[in-house]
Amino acid sequence: MTVWCLGSINADHFYTVPHLVAPGETLIVQSHSKGLGGKGANQSVAAARAGANVRHIGAVGLDGEWAVEALAGFGVDVSRIVRVDAPTAHAIIQVDANGENAILVHPGANMMIPTPDFADAFVGDTLLLQNETSGTIAAARTAKAEGLRVVYSAAPFDAATVREILPFIDLLLVNALENAALETEFSDIAVDRVVTRGSDGAEWIGVAKLPAHAVQAVDTTGAGDCFAGTLVAALDQGMSREDALRRAIIASALQVTKKGTADAMPLKEDVDRLIGL
Ligand code: RIB
């Protein structure tokens, strides 16, 4: 089957810093690098590296050809990426000595994505979404009506968007902070839900709770995206929910041992090796 990923495409600018910059502070950075990012692009790359057939739906400006080429280089189908009259999105990412981050995103072209129709999708395909683009609700509604499995990673978290999208999704992905916000906002969440808890592992509510795979993290940026893409790829390949959860935990553990976002997504063979296949 196919994993359709409607998602952001960003130029990630990484700044290595001794600590995350404080209000009013001017900080000299230790290094700078640039790469492909955006939660959507990261999820597409993670799913492709996990063995899924991935079609990315997104938008870039005229300055974004390099990003489309990079996604294609990772094996992602880029035929649904449009060129629009706005700058390609970019992110300013500080990474501190503990591998923690703080991120600013200028959304640019990500907010000008035309609503996809899924006319050439099949029942059983997956639509993977996050919250960095225009058109998420409409896409979820259409995909659900067409019989796709709709998976929503609620990042960056926005309660109003979650409320609107809930009727159209099959699976909700949140981290511990997002889950706390969710439980404050909603008394009853009927949809399937996976909660990631960093070094405390992850839980598919009502299905399985698995520990983390211990590693020395150098950069946690994009770990949630790696988890989402890997989980969806595994489900698309027919794995059980518990096996998919295990693969996603291991893949994101591998991802945080490398610097960067899309470039740091692990290969399927490396995940297989750690799982013992
Ligand atoms: O989740 C990490 C991502 O968030 C980065 O790649 C950055 O572009 C922002 O979208």
Question: Cβ of 214: how many Cβ atoms within 10 Å?
Answer: 8
Say whether 31 sits in a helix, a strand or coil. strand
Q: What is the dihedral of CA 175, 137, 139, 144, to 10 degrees?
A: 80
What are the Cα distances from residue 151, in Å, to 49, 57, 81, 141, 192?
Answer: 18, 15, 20, 12, 10
Q: Which residues of the chain have pLDDT under 50?
A: none
Q: How far apart are CA 185 and CA 172, in angstroms?
A: 15
C-alpha to C-alpha distance for 273 and 256, rounded to whole angstroms = 17
Strands 89-95 and 31-37: unpaired
List the residue whose alpha carbon is closest to atom 8 of ligand 1.
38
- The number of the ligand 1 atom at minimal distance from the alpha carbon of 10 is 8
Name the residue of 5, 6, 9, 10 to mutate for ligand 1: max ligand atoms within 8 A of Cβ: 10
DSSP string spanning 64-91? -HHHHHHHHHTT-EEEEEEE-SSPPEEE
CA of 110 to the centre of ligand 1 (A): 12
Per the annotation, the verdict on 225 as an active-site residue is yes
Q: Quick check: helix, strand or coil at residue 251? A: helix
Pocket test for ligand 1, best of 13, 74, 221 (most atoms within 8 A of CB): 221
Would you mind telling me the total number of residues written for the chain in this entry?
277
pLDDT the model gives residue 188: 83
Backbone angles phi, psi at 118, to 5 degrees: 60, 25
For residue range 58-111, list pLDDT tens digits in order.
Answer: 999 999 999 999 999 999 999 999 999 999 999 999 999 988 899 999 999 999
- Which residue, 236, 233, 256, 220, is CA-closest to 102? 220
- Residue 9 in tokens: 């495409």
Residue 100: what pLDDT? 87
Find out whether 250 and 214 touch, Cβ atoms under 8 Å. no
| CA atoms within 13 A of residue 17's CA, in its CB half-sphere | 20
Helix (H) or strand (E) holding 3: strand 2-6
Q: What pLDDT is stored for residue 189 in this prediction?
A: 84
From the candidates 225, 236, 263, 272, which is the catalytic residue?
Answer: 225
Pocket of ligand 1 (CB under 6 A): 8, 10, 12, 37-39, 42, 91, 103, 105, 132, 221-222, 224-225, 261
**CA–CA–CA angle 160, 56, 133 (5° rounding):** 25
Closest residue CA from atom 9 of ligand 1: 38
Best mutation site among 13, 130, 132, 133 for ligand 1, i.e. most ligand atoms within 8 A of its Cβ? 132
pLDDT reported for residue 187: 84
8 Å CB contact between 179 and 203: no
The pTM score is: 0.97
Q: How far, in Å, is the centroid of ligand 1 from the Cα of 276?
A: 30
DSSP string, 157-198: --HHHHHHHGGG-SEEEEEHHHHHHHHHH-S---SEEEEE-G
pLDDT of 111: 98
